[in-house]
Chains A and B, each alone.
Chain A
Amino acid sequence: MAKEILVGKASDFKEGDKKIVPNGKTSEIGVYLVHGKWYAYANLCPHQGGPACEGLLMAKVEEVIAEDKTYQGMRFNHDEMHIVCPWHGWEFDIADGQAVADRKWSLRKFEVEVRGEDVYVIA
């Protein structure tokens, strides 16, 4: 049966913030506010079990390829933010939790509900 976990006050989050909350005694959930949207994922990397949500939030890296197909460098694309597992660097798309290098792997996703000022994750 699903349970609600109180994360905190919505006003305590600013853009790009996260909070990791306990989900029982042996797991946690990372809750994020990115681009004005709420996301929640298990703090457990599908690779080797690392605490993915304890890692950095990084923008997608893109190559800049000119019309003549020449390489012009790299840039960050802040429209796609990645959760980066601190154990090995696996990157996950904040939008759906999928591993960007191989999208059949993903973080377990949870629903987030904001009621009034309170933020809940449904676990």
Chain B
Amino acid sequence: MDLPTSDIHKQAVKSLDTTSLLTNAARQRDARKFETFPIVDVDCHHYENESLSEIVKYIDDPVLKQMGMLYTGGGTGGQSPLNPGGVGYQDVSGRVTRYPLRKTETTPGDDQHRDVHLSLRWMNAMGVDYVCLFPTPMLSLGLHPQPEVEAGLAKAYNRWLLENITSKEERIKTMMYVPFSDPEAAYETVKEFGDHPDVIGFMIVSVRYHAVHSNAYMKTYALMEELGKPLGFHSNYNWNDRLVGNSNRFLVTHALGFTVYNAVHLCNWVVNAMPERFPKLKTVWIESGLAWIPWVMQRLDNDYKMRWSEAPSLKGLPSDYMREMFYTSQPMEIPDNPDVLKMTFDMINADDQLLWASDYPHWDMDVPSVIYDLPFLDERQKRKMLGGNAIDLFNLDVSKRFPNYKPV
């Protein structure tokens, strides 16, 4: 097909083949012998919007279901009643070619879902053994003006995902989407899906304006803690935000948005002493990179010492609690001075708390070598960050692929 580019004539490009695109990742996999230890990707994606006509059939509310079926069937023009996501172009106007070419990739017309085929292609190329799969446009669903739409669509998506994707491929797991706009629906989600073996945790999309410390959520956190599965906050951008969207360049709204939403939730989580209220509930901060964490640690500690009376339930510095939280690595900043990254790793206790993530197929994805090639890590540290820490956190059974696996 032809892609419009800057040139006077269009450039002809081949159809997308994920395996071919990732040939160099497969070479890295082989050169580093990734097959000798388990690699777990804690944050990757599919495009659930491509299956929305299947998903809306799982909606309970008959009126919402009819609207969803109409929208995904004949269409209703340019508007979407289901997706509040705003403007954006993550593919840098087609420069990241797997976006515009996505629809050209073919998959076998067998019983296996296309999303399973596509996931396994990139997983195998990178040498990834297990993944935690998340949606894409639904990462903006926390902005939907109708809480009942988030609740209804989330429940349908969760059911569809377990029935059609995770149950068909044991290497694909998920942290269940929690419809946070509706506290009761959030609780019911954890109650309905919490015991499912493919559900390794729970996920709140961070782009929203709800307070994580609201009393309305306490029973939900208590239930998560009782189930022994972690809670993740998955960030995103929002160009319609009046602060972090206050830029004419996607670069800015992405660089800030993905960090600031999680920073706000994390600060509220800490100063309201949620780790003291729910000491066994582990939290994971997803897709904000790493550079923001030392910033927040220093700011919170500094203010906390002057304003102790505002966070009286803490029994240590905010950074002490943050050091016990988990962080996914992607998109991992690579500063010119490697000492900066090493200092960040030290500050967050990366040996035990860092979880490698690819974010594939999104534009700022990381391959496993971003961790494996770091000069200041030894082999044991690399294996923990690439898989061991996630296996411990999620209590993952990796015996089918690694029968003799022992904790790193």
Contact = CB atoms under 8 A, between A and B. Distances in A.
Contacts of A99: none
B23 A56 contact: no
Given A16-B9, A26-B27, A56 B3 contact: yes
A112 B393 CA distance: 53
Interface string A46-63: 001111001111110100
A38 B343 CA distance: 44
A9 interface: no
A88 B11 CA distance: 19
Contacts of B369: 48-49
Contacts of A57: 5, 7, 11
A84 B23 contact: no
A58 B21 CA distance: 19
A50 to B, nearest CB: 6
Contacts of A91: 95
Contacts of A8: none
Contacts of A48: 366-367, 369-370
B363 A49 contact: no
Given A16-B7, A49-B24, A56 B95 contact: yes
A51 B96 contact: no
A13 interface: no
B124 interface: no
B364 A88 contact: yes
B28 interface: yes
Contacts of A7: none
Contacts of A16: 7, 9, 11
Nearest to A61: B6
Contacts of A55: 95, 97
Interface string B388-401: 00000000000000
A23 B286 CA distance: 39
Contacts of A59: 6-7
A86 B27 contact: no
Contacts of B363: 88-89
Nearest to A14: B9
Interface residues of B, number: 28
Contacts of A51: 21, 23-24
B366 A87 contact: no
Contact of A56 (B5, B27, B365, B370): B5
Contacts of A103: none
Nearest to A76: B6
A44 interface: yes
A58 to B, nearest CB: 5
B46 interface: no
Interface in B95-118: 95-98
A44 B6 contact: no
Contacts of A56: 3, 5, 11, 13, 94-95, 97
A83 B333 CA distance: 23
A78 B96 contact: no
B92 interface: yes
B329 to A, nearest CB: 13
Interface in B1-19: 3, 5-9, 11, 13
Interface string B358-396: 000001111101100000000000000000000000000
B151 interface: no
B95 A89 contact: yes
28 contacts: A16-B7, A48-B367, A48-B369, A48-B370, A49-B27, A49-B28, A49-B367, A49-B369, A50-B24, A51-B21, A51-B24, A55-B95, A56-B3, A56-B5, A56-B13, A56-B94, A56-B95, A56-B97, A57-B5, A57-B11, A58-B5, A58-B95, A76-B6, A84-B95, A86-B96, A87-B365, A88-B365, A91-B95
Listed from nearest, the 6 A-B pairs whose CB atoms lie closest are A59-B6, A89-B95, A76-B6, A86-B97, A89-B92, A84-B95
Given A56-B94, A78-B7, A86-B96, 20 more contacts: A16-B11, A26-B27, A49-B367, A49-B369, A51-B24, A55-B95, A55-B97, A56-B11, A57-B5, A57-B7, A57-B11, A58-B7, A59-B6, A59-B7, A86-B95, A86-B97, A88-B364, A88-B365, A89-B92, A91-B95
